[in-house]
């Protein structure tokens, strides 16, 4: 593309209030962001359990680097898969009660590998309308094509399953990243089974937050992990790290090992990070107080929303969006909040549909009640 054309497109975006700008924070934690020498309360992160800065996880990373080095130095099938990676996979297998786990450098890559690797070329991918970009991009590349069902609408999915009987793979999320809501997983699994359609589930925002020991959305719905053919989750949310994984059966993992390009042709996770993520999972499993505190904050956030008559989208997760609509207005509110010591990013098109700009409040176990109170009193003043 010519530079002049890029400039024109950038100007158009700016005029529509949709220009994205990178802001460099000095330091980020689950509760506070340090930016331009000021401390702002963080309501935009995904560190749901406060594990990103947990000293034991930090110490594990340091020890991991001392013992194994910083980089894995190769893709998993060459020499990248090392003892800490295997220990992390074993930990996840035990946690989620699955046979096999494959590690990826990001959740984005893991999702792409899952959809592109597991949908056969004569099968249609059926995707929720609000699926994450990583799934949509995979669907766009899938030779068998894709169709989208209405968001969390089992009737809409049912019609597509009838249309593509026995030749469909269903992909959806345990918790939707921009709306914070969830499908009825028990019914969805039943429907997929009725049509023998494999289910591929992204539980990026459910893992660590829901279910016994934080085992995620399937466990919270009383389902075993193998209710989905393959489960994707990442380390960058509740587990406070970076990277992603697929948890599945031995056969599926073996199959993916042959053909998942994001696995085969990409440098394996840092071994130090693998050590840290194992420690993080152990804390996530054993420290129920983190989930209890998060749930308490979620409930308090809903109470404040009712009290201040600032209606949030329906959600029981750590993602509590406040719909604003207009992008310029969402940006303005976000800037005003920042001036008053609150970091709450505006989410705009194309991340969410046009005219559905929102302030996506995200909660963490590290936040205090007074933080939430301040957020809502300030929002009320502004709106
Ligand atoms: C639902 C969902 N899936 C996948 C991803 C991608 O994961 P990662 O950030 O690890 O690449 C994200 C977030 O970034 C997400 O919100």
pLDDT of residue 159: 98
Q: Which of 236, 315, 317, 352 to mutate to test the pocket of ligand 1 (most atoms within 8 A of CB)?
A: 236
**Portions of the chain given CATH number 3.40.640.10:** 56-286
For position 18, what pLDDT does the model report?
A: 87
Report whether pLDDT(273) > 90.
yes
Q: For 33-47, how does the pLDDT look when each residue is reduced to its tens digit (9 = 90+)?
A: 999 999 999 999 999
Ligand 1 geometric centre to CA of 139 (Å): 16
Distance 377 CA to ligand 1 centre (A): 31
Catalytic residue among 72, 105, 134, 177: 177
Active site residue 205: yes
Of 54, 123, 173, 181, which is the active-site residue?
Answer: 173
CB distance 317 to ligand 1 below 6 Å: no
3-state SS of the chain is CCHHHHHHHHHHHHHCCCCCCCCCCCEECCCEEEECCEEEEECCCCCCCCCCCCHHHHHHHHHHHHHHCCCCCCCHHHHHCCHHHHHHHHHHHHHHCCCEEEEECCHHHHHHHHHHHHCCCCCEEEEECCCCHHHHHHHHHCCCCEEEECCCCHHHHHHHHHHCCCCEEEEEECCCCCCCCCCCHHHHHHHHHHCCCCEEEECCCCCCCCCHHHCCHHHHCCCCHHHCCEEEEECCCCCCCCCEEEEECHHHHHHHHHHCHHHHCCCCCCHHHHHHHHHHHHHHHHCHHHHHHHHHHHHHHHHHHHHCCCCCCCCCCCEEEEEEECHHHHHHHHHHHHHCCEECCEECCCCCCCCCEEEEEECCCCCCHHHHHHHHHHHHHHC
Tell me the per-residue pLDDT of 290-300, one tens digit each, with 9 for 90 and over.
999 999 999 99
Delimiting residues of CATH 3.90.1150.10 domain(s) in the chain: 23-49+288-382
Q: pLDDT tens digits for 337-346?
A: 999 999 999 9
Whether 190 is catalytic: no
CA of 380 to the centre of ligand 1 (A): 31
Annotated active-site residue in 132, 142, 164, 293: 132
Q: What is the mean pLDDT of the chain?
A: 97
Give catalytic status of residue 173 as yes or no. Answer: yes
Q: Would the CB of 107 count as within 6 Å of ligand 1? A: yes
Q: Is the CB of 175 under 6 A from ligand 1?
A: no
What is the best residue among 177, 182, 235 to mutate for testing ligand 1's pocket, by most ligand atoms within 8 Å of CB?
177
pLDDT of residue 165: 83
Q: How far is the CA of 144 from the centre of ligand 1 (A)?
A: 24
Please state the separation of Cα 312 from the chain's center in Å.
20
CATH class of the 23-49+288-382 domain in this structure: alpha beta
Atom of ligand 1 nearest to the CA of 234: 10
Q: Provide the percentage of residues in the chain whose pLDDT is more than 70.
A: 100
* Centroid of ligand 1 to alpha carbon of 234 (angstroms): 7
The CATH number of the domain covering residues in 56-286 = 3.40.640.10
- When pLDDT is averaged across residues 174-195 and rounded to a whole number, the result is 98
């Amino acid at each position: 593309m010519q530079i002049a054309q890029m400039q024109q497109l950038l100007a158009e975006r700016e005029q529509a209030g949709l220009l994205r700008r990178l802001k460099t924070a000095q330091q980020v934690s689950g509760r506070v962001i340090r930016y331009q020498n000021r401390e702002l309360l963080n309501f935009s992160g995904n560190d749901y359990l406060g594990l990103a800065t947990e000293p034991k996880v930090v110490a594990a990373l340091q020890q991991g680097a001392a013992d194994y080095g910083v980089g894995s130095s190769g893709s998993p099938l060459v020499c990248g898969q090392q003892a800490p990676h295997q220990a992390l996979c074993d930990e996840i297998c035990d946690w989620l009660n699955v046979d096999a786990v494959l590690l990826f450098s990001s959740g984005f890559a893991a999702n792409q590998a899952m959809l592109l690797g597991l949908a056969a070329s004569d099968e249609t991918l059926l995707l929720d309308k609000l699926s994450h970009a990583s799934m949509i991009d995979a669907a766009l590349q899938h030779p068998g094509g894709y169709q989208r069902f209405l968001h969390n609408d089992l009737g809409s999915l049912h019609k597509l399953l009838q249309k593509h009987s026995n030749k469909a793979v269903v992909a959806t999320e345990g918790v939707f990243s921009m709306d914070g809501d969830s499908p009825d997983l028990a019914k969805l699994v039943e429907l997929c089974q009725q049509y023998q359609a494999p289910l591929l589930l992204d539980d990026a925002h459910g893992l660590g937050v829901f279910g016994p020991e934080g085992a995620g959305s399937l466990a919270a719905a009383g389902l075993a992990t193998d209710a989905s053919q393959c489960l994707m989750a990442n380390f960058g949310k509740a587990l406070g790290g970076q990277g992603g994984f697929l948890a599945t059966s031995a056969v599926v993992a073996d199959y993916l090992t042959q053909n998942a390009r994001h696995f085969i042709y990409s440098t394996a996770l840092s071994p130090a990070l693998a050590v840290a993520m194992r420690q993080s999972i152990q804390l996530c499993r054993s420290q129920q107080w983190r989930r209890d505190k998060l749930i308490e904050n979620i409930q308090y956030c809903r109470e404040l929303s009712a009290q201040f008559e600032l209606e949030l989208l329906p959600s029981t997760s750590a993602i509590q969006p406040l719909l604003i609509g207009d992008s310029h207005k969402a940006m303005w509110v976000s800037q005003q909040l920042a001036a008053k010591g609150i970091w709450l990013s505006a989410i705009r098109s194309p991340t969410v549909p046009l005219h559905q700009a929102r302030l996506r409040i995200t909660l963490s176990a590290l936040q205090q009640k007074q933080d939430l109170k301040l957020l809502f009193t300030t929002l009320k003043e502004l709106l």
